[in-house]
Amino acid sequence: MRALIQRVTNANVQVDATLIGQTGPGLLILICAMQGDTDTQAQAMAAKIAKLRIFTDDAGKMNLSVRDIGGTALVVSQFTLAGDTSRGNRPGFSTAAAPDEGQRLYQMFTDALRGAGVPCETGEFGANMQVTLTNDGPVTIWIDA
């Protein structure tokens, strides 16, 4: 799995101009299931992100997790994280998981994140979504499983 995590003061996702998910303060997590990803990887990534210390403590150091600050997460599926531009200017997405498997792993990841104590809202898998965010810091972390 591949995730792009952004520390946000707020974020939301819309489909057809209808708000379907939001968070703040907390995390915006763009997530992509890759070919060959497993249930274990989805669960491990959720556990890691729940404990990821990217929020500042009273001393101004990144030492707190989203759970520590009582934050929430907005999880949005984004197969374009699998984009490969090594052979030209048009990205290829052949390393992304097939849609059915990608959706299953996306749901498993979100359920595991909730199970790790992080309240989550989500986007709509496979939909054309509009995501709005205010990146805090900015802090953006890339994680590959």
pTM of the model: 0.96
Kindly report the CATH number assigned to the domain that includes residue 83.
3.50.80.10
Name the catalytic one among 9, 38, 40, 80.
80
Q: How far is the C-alpha of 145 from the C-alpha of 39, rounded, in Å?
A: 11
What is the number of structural domains in the chain? 1
72 catalytic, yes or no?
Answer: no
Strand partners, 8: 26, 135
Whether 143 maps to a domain, the answer reads no
Whether 18 maps to a domain, the answer reads yes
Domain membership of residue 72 as a residue range:
2-138
Q: Compute the Cα dihedral for 95, 97, 98, 102 and give only its sign.
A: negative
Question: Could you read off the pLDDT tens digit of each residue along the chain, which spans 145 residues?
Answer: 999 999 999 999 999 999 999 999 999 999 999 999 999 999 999 999 999 999 999 999 999 999 999 999 999 999 999 999 999 999 999 999 999 999 999 999 999 999 999 999 999 999 999 999 999 999 999 999 8
